[in-house]
Structure 1
Amino acid sequence: MDEKKNIMRRLYLVYFSMVLLGLAILVKVIYIQTVEGDKWREMAKASTIRYENIDAIRGDICAEDGRLLATSVPIYEIRMDLSKDVIDDKIFRQGVDSLALMLSQLFGDRSKARYFSELTNARSNQDRYFLVKRNVSYHQLQELRNFPIFRLGKFRGGFIPIERARREMPYRTMAQRTIGYEREGVYVGLEGAYRSELEGIQGKRLMQRVSGGNWVPINDENEIQPENGKDLITTININIQDIVENALLRQLTRAEAEFGTAVVMEVSTGKIKAISNLTRRPAGNYEETFNYAVGESTEPGSTFKLASMISLLEDGKVKPEEMVHTGNGTLAYADRVMRDAKEGGYGSITARHAFEVSSNVGISQLVVKAYKDKPQHFVDRLKSMGLDKPLGLEITGEGQPFISDPKSPSWSGVSLPWMSIGYGVALTPLQTLAFYNAVANNGRMMKPMFVEEIRQTGKTIRRFQPQVINRSIASNSTLELIREMLIGVVENGTAKNIYSPLYPIAGKTGTAQVANTSQGYRNVHGRTSYRSSFVGYFPADNPAYSIIVVIHNPRGLLYSGGQLAAPVFKEISDKIFATQLNYPQPGYENLLASLPSFRNGNAEDLRTIYSAFDCKLIDNIQSTWATTIAKNDTVSFWEKNFIDNLVPDVVGMSLKDALFVLENAGLRVRFSGRGTVRRQSLQPGIRFNPGNQIYVELN
């Protein structure tokens, strides 16, 4: 009996324990639901709902006339909600076969059977965010909107287009390193210098997690729209940039040079009108990989003789007609021998002619005679011209200038003479150009200028002004003499080969041996590497533009600045003179009048037309469309490409070509006149909506 009571007692104990446990659980549930309910509901919501950033559309980078150099083109990611809640079974069965066929035909990346299989599998899995295709263009998107199932829209056809942006350069590699780009989160060029202005402000969108772990956007009235980035209007002139790139590329290719750079600056303002930096790749082609003009600080060689001669004239140490004896072209300084390029030397010549023929022996003798007892005075004079200071460019990575100092432990008996001819000092090509530009600009050194304006929605919110960084590098009397000497280099000296009867050119050649850290001035093969350069301005009697051309390590027999770099300068200056400056050119207008007026159009048609006039063609393009420039009896062809959603440039085209290009782009065209297009109502390079109207006026 006692044993039975004990058993019952234990059963009651277990029973009451279970009741108490149940009551405790019930109380906890009620407590969680009432007291902590909001907290747990928020946690559950947080695991299925989140905010996602919406990238702002990055601002455009434009040429001086508004044409696009870099822009963000909309591209689309196509997703599909294949759940039965959205797409009815009957609609899916009737449309999936046709949809698979049309997707295969549009994209060409998968067969109809593959698309059909992927769509039906995603349907079986009730995939609510199935990826159909990435990187879809606007025109493809418009076609997709009319496809089976998709045409029913998001809520009945599961069609989910997501807009993204892709950075494109309409002129491809034109000034690519200066315009800039982004790689692995690092921005270079103007893209980096003005990153905050270009990026805009991100927005926010509410996203929900659905089956398969995918996140889809929720239609939310509280969505924060992004603020698009601002636009940059640069100083780049597309026509001059074309001229510079083609001239530099041809010479680099002929010389099989390692790399080269060419820059055009407007004398009065410092505006950079063109800048090209080309590097030879293993395959033998040339690409923009490094901004040598901005970042490569090296010994300039003979172009530095300008600074030496200005110092001598400014300090009254020499007169242009003073004689200097160069002997047989060799002269020993301490344990080193300096040589002139001309075998046998120049004998006794004037200081002016020593500069014109770039005599190392002559210039170094003049500097050593003037400053051997006070080398610091020479160095201080160079520094007073700003040659030891960086230009303070907005583009990062400017190379640091260097001027040897007599107080340095490395100063020796050969420092002053070699410094006078451009060794033991270092400048970037752009720093050298700014110095020569100051001579052309009456002594005022201008800061190189890359950006003119910042705009937002078409309105100018900031305008940049030309900036003087040195009010006077020398006296007017010295500048007048030195300008005569620079003209003499072209008329009587090392650059006689680029003399032009149409307009005067002033400048200086440079041929520098390139120092190698471990092999001195020879490379690993025991061969001397050279850097050829020419820097100057034109027209010399009324300077409009200054130009520097640098060609590094040519592999052929020619390596001097006069032979390699100066002809590039001449080609650039000739074309700018003919197309940009209003100077009379006897006979040139008559020739242009006889040539066909088309300058843009179908490349094959242009070849046929110009060939009929017995023109010489410089034509290495692969594109369907071309831009041409005629000079004398030679016509140069350049590729012309068009980008979706951007207004094409049809000025200079025949009506037939203009209609074809504009209508295929999606524009409605009205026109008046006959001949070639001389004006279009929509500015080239701006965005438009399909169906917009454009008016073109012909001659």
Structure 2
Amino acid sequence: MVFSVFVLLALALTGRLFVLQVQQHADLSQKAEAAHLWTEPIPATRGAIYDINGALLAGNTTADDLYVDMSKLGNVSERRRLADLLAPPLNANPDDLYVSLSKEMTGTLRLKGNLSDAQSARMRELAKGWPLELLTHAKRAYPNGALLAHVLGYATLENVGAYGIEGYYEKQLGGTPGSSTAEHDALGNTIPLGQQRVTPPVDGNDLTLSIDMNVQYIAERALDDGMKSTGSSAGQVLIMDPHSGAIIAMASRPTFDPNTYYDQPDVAAFINPVVNTVYEPGSTFKTLVWSAGLNAGRITLDTTISEPHCIIKYGYTICNTSSAHYNETPATGLAVSDNIMAMDIAERLGKDDFYKYLQNFGIGQLTNIDLPGEGQGLVSYPTDAGWGPLDLDTNAFGQGISVTPLQLLIAVTAVANGGHLMQPYVVQRISDKQGKVVSETQPKVVRDVLSSTTTSQMRELMVGVVEHGTGVLAKTKGYRIAAKTGTAQIPHPGGGYEGSATIGSVVGFAPADDARFVMMVKLDRPQSSQWGENTAVPIFANIARELFVYYKVQPTDYNP
């Protein structure tokens, strides 16, 4: 009996050994190998960002994070003393540090990230007598600080792009991490002659933007000065090449510093209002209405209209800011920004053609610029529920319809360049780390909107706005500037419009006969004056005059 049991046990053991040595050999070998093979990631180097002239806008550096080994800290008095030592170089409150150092934990505690060079040096000195440790990591660096912040966005502490170019082009900039696999002994030491496999990382590509930082600086400085003098709560400047669609400058206020984005308490500060935020444009929109009327042949330069100061439409009273006008032409109507003439032109077009032209101009549609979160705008069409004939009239002078600043400037660009709606872009080219061009952005005409005859006529009308109309503060000796001003009411969330709050703006281009740039200036809630002609136009003029010098645009013999 005993012998039989012994035989059975032996057979069972033999069977188990057979399973382990033969049937499960490969599986167990893989598990044993995996237990000794450790894989660590190799981060890719993030691609750099440059302006059109090669100036560095976003690069890479390193920074230290400060940790403390809580298991090696002593009693209460010792923790208090460490807090007092750390507070001055870290610019921290010693009481706050003491609270952190008093936590009941045995691991390591992160006290502060992204130390300055001076802070790191001081912490290394303190680490000689205290259980402190510095861990170095890659960090994104923006040498121009807050300049161009909304366009660039930022890279997080994990070096991942967020907002702006950093977020939109994350795949191109971020690259692909590699890995290093090595065999370790039971104590965790690398075995020199053991198995080793290295998959090198693929570094991110570099981006060259269409932005010219010289122009960007001019725009941001003028915007800051203008906001200060007008008491505006926010503002934007957008400058574009009318012939290519390249964005030359894009500025927004308030702004932030991408180097210290984590200090910004409100994430709304990262949203780019030029691209993401819609507003009612007011009278700048008349540029499109006059263009549509001329292009469709519903008005000519000789058309005359006699308009009262106010008119009642569908039970609502709509007025001009000035007195009644008699035998008014499109030229004088645009110069004085006549609301009632705008309504007349819209009605001559009719609802079908009016909204067809808006669609052709790209109103209510994405421009597909290479920036994240673009706003589409808000347009009610005759087929939409709630649309009424009054909408046609109010839309004609830019009320009850919403656009982004980018959307409106793209539409006005068609007047400047002969009738072509251009595809806007910010990234001019993408290159690999060896300098090889991966892709280059070429100008793209989305569609033709206006005839060359219409655009020639509109240029003259918009020059008239500057010469003897609401844009007279942009008048510059020796240069023909085309522009249209706007003053828009601000919709109230509960319906209707805010009391006296306005948005002052201007769109235009120069030189009028061969535009080197198109530009928009927009100010939110200016306090010095509610009118765009008094608030936004001086900023426009200051920038334009500097650009004439920068681009070496020679004055003509024209004498205003």
TM-score (normalizing by structure 2): 0.79
Task: Tell which structure's C-alpha radius of gyration is larger.
Answer: 1
User: Is 1:359–2:338 an aligned residue pair?
Assistant: yes
Matched residue of 2:300: which SS? coil
| Separation in structure 1 between the aligned mates of residue 118 and residue 286 of structure 2, nearest angstrom | 58
User: Is 1:65–2:53 an aligned residue pair?
Assistant: yes
Pairing 1:15-30 to 2, within 5 Å after superposition: none
Q: CA deviation at 1:473?
A: 1.6
Matched residue of 1:223: which SS? strand
User: Is 1:425–2:401 an aligned residue pair?
Assistant: yes
Match of 1:488 among 455, 460, 464: 464
| Separation in structure 1 between the aligned mates of residue 383 and residue 466 of structure 2, nearest angstrom | 38
User: Is 1:510–2:510 an aligned residue pair?
Assistant: no
| Separation in structure 2 between the aligned mates of residue 17 and residue 170 of structure 1, nearest angstrom | 85
Match of 1:411 among 387, 392, 415: 387
Partner of 1:377: 353
Partner of 1:575: 546
Q: Does the 8 A contact of 1:206 with 1:217 survive in 2? A: no
Match of 2:442 among 465, 486, 491: 465
Residue 318 to residue 33, structure 1, CA distance change in 2 (3 Å) = closer
**Alpha-carbon deviations, 1:302-361, whole Å to 9, x = none?**
11111111122122222324332232x21111111112223x444553221111110112
Q: Does the 8 A contact of 1:277 with 1:288 survive in 2? A: no
Partner of 2:307: 326
Q: CA deviation at 1:38?
A: 6.5
Q: Does the 8 A contact of 1:302 with 1:422 survive in 2? A: yes
| Separation in structure 2 between the aligned mates of residue 319 and residue 465 of structure 1, nearest angstrom | 36
Q: CA deviation at 1:394?
A: 2.2
Q: CA deviation at 1:447?
A: 1.0
User: Is 1:310–2:291 an aligned residue pair?
Assistant: yes
Pairing 1:428-443 to 2, within 5 Å after superposition: 428-443=404-419
Partner of 1:618: none
Q: CA deviation at 1:403?
A: 3.6
User: Is 1:337–2:317 an aligned residue pair?
Assistant: yes
Amino acid at match of 2:486: G
Residue 275 to residue 217, structure 1, CA distance change in 2 (3 Å) = farther
Residue 53 to residue 421, structure 1, CA distance change in 2 (3 Å) = same
Matched residue of 1:426: which SS? coil
Q: Does the 8 A contact of 2:419 with 2:451 survive in 1? A: yes
Residue 44 to residue 145, structure 1, CA distance change in 2 (3 Å) = farther
User: Is 1:205–2:180 an aligned residue pair?
Assistant: yes
Amino acid at match of 1:174: L
Residue 206 to residue 414, structure 1, CA distance change in 2 (3 Å) = same
Amino acid at match of 2:380: S
Q: Does the 8 A contact of 2:51 with 2:57 survive in 1? A: yes
Q: Does the 8 A contact of 1:259 with 1:280 survive in 2? A: no
Residue 362 to residue 108, structure 1, CA distance change in 2 (3 Å) = closer
Q: CA deviation at 1:485?
A: 0.6
TM-score (normalizing by structure 1): 0.64
Q: Does the 8 A contact of 1:232 with 1:454 survive in 2? A: yes
User: Is 1:451–2:427 an aligned residue pair?
Assistant: yes
Partner of 2:100: none
User: Is 1:566–2:529 an aligned residue pair?
Assistant: no
Matched residue of 2:497: which SS? coil
Q: CA deviation at 1:442?
A: 1.1
| Separation in structure 2 between the aligned mates of residue 43 and residue 131 of structure 1, nearest angstrom | 35
Residue 447 to residue 256, structure 1, CA distance change in 2 (3 Å) = same
Amino acid at match of 1:459: K
Q: CA deviation at 1:167?
A: 1.3
Residue 313 to residue 166, structure 1, CA distance change in 2 (3 Å) = same
| Separation in structure 2 between the aligned mates of residue 417 and residue 496 of structure 1, nearest angstrom | 27
Q: Does the 8 A contact of 1:446 with 1:466 survive in 2? A: yes
Greater mean alpha carbon deviation, residues 399-408 or residues 352-361: 399-408
**Alpha-carbon deviations, 1:173-199, whole Å to 9, x = none?**
222222222459673222222222111
Residue 300 to residue 41, structure 1, CA distance change in 2 (3 Å) = same
Matched residue of 1:509: which SS? strand
Residue 298 to residue 147, structure 1, CA distance change in 2 (3 Å) = closer
Partner of 1:537: 509
Residue 349 to residue 54, structure 1, CA distance change in 2 (3 Å) = same
**Alpha-carbon deviations, 1:280-303, whole Å to 9, x = none?**
8999x9995321111122321111
Residue 46 to residue 375, structure 1, CA distance change in 2 (3 Å) = same
Q: CA deviation at 1:265?
A: 0.4
| Separation in structure 2 between the aligned mates of residue 413 and residue 211 of structure 1, nearest angstrom | 82
Partner of 1:174: 147
Q: Does the 8 A contact of 1:205 with 1:217 survive in 2? A: no
Q: Does the 8 A contact of 2:182 with 2:197 survive in 1? A: no
Amino acid at match of 1:307: L
Q: CA deviation at 1:263?
A: 0.7
Matched residue of 2:197: which SS? coil
Gaps of 5+ in 1: 1-11, 80-103, 111-124, 150-159, 587-699
Greater mean alpha carbon deviation, residues 564-573 or residues 481-490: 564-573
**Alpha-carbon deviations, 1:347-384, whole Å to 9, x = none?**
5532211111101123223433x24xx42122223333
| Separation in structure 1 between the aligned mates of residue 388 and residue 556 of structure 2, nearest angstrom | 53
Gaps of 5+ in 2: 68-84, 92-105, 257-262
Q: CA deviation at 1:422?
A: 1.1
Residue 182 to residue 274, structure 1, CA distance change in 2 (3 Å) = same
User: Is 1:290–2:271 an aligned residue pair?
Assistant: yes
Aligned residues between the structures:
509
Q: CA deviation at 1:518?
A: 0.9
Q: CA deviation at 1:278?
A: 1.5
Greater mean alpha carbon deviation, residues 37-46 or residues 347-356: 37-46
| Separation in structure 1 between the aligned mates of residue 279 and residue 7 of structure 2, nearest angstrom | 88
| Separation in structure 2 between the aligned mates of residue 452 and residue 340 of structure 1, nearest angstrom | 44
| Separation in structure 1 between the aligned mates of residue 6 and residue 282 of structure 2, nearest angstrom | 99
| Separation in structure 2 between the aligned mates of residue 539 and residue 48 of structure 1, nearest angstrom | 71
User: Is 1:52–2:40 an aligned residue pair?
Assistant: yes
Matched residue of 2:166: which SS? helix
| Separation in structure 2 between the aligned mates of residue 506 and residue 358 of structure 1, nearest angstrom | 14
Higher RCO (Cα < 8 Å, 6 or more apart): 2
Pairing 1:243-282 to 2, within 5 Å after superposition: 243-279=218-254
Residue 47 to residue 387, structure 1, CA distance change in 2 (3 Å) = same
| Separation in structure 1 between the aligned mates of residue 556 and residue 452 of structure 2, nearest angstrom | 31
**Alpha-carbon deviations, 1:609-657, whole Å to 9, x = none?**
xxxxxxxxxxxxxxxxxxxxxxxxxxxxxxxxxxxxxxxxxxxxxxxxx
| Separation in structure 2 between the aligned mates of residue 520 and residue 216 of structure 1, nearest angstrom | 72
| Separation in structure 1 between the aligned mates of residue 134 and residue 220 of structure 2, nearest angstrom | 40
User: Is 1:553–2:553 an aligned residue pair?
Assistant: no
CA RMSD of aligned residues (A): 4.2
Residue 566 to residue 205, structure 1, CA distance change in 2 (3 Å) = same
Q: Does the 8 A contact of 1:278 with 1:287 survive in 2? A: no
Partner of 2:455: 479
Matched residue of 2:204: which SS? coil
| Separation in structure 2 between the aligned mates of residue 17 and residue 532 of structure 1, nearest angstrom | 103
Amino acid at match of 1:323: T
Pairing 1:605-620 to 2, within 5 Å after superposition: none
Matched residue of 2:356: which SS? helix
Instruction: Give the % identical residues.
Output: 27
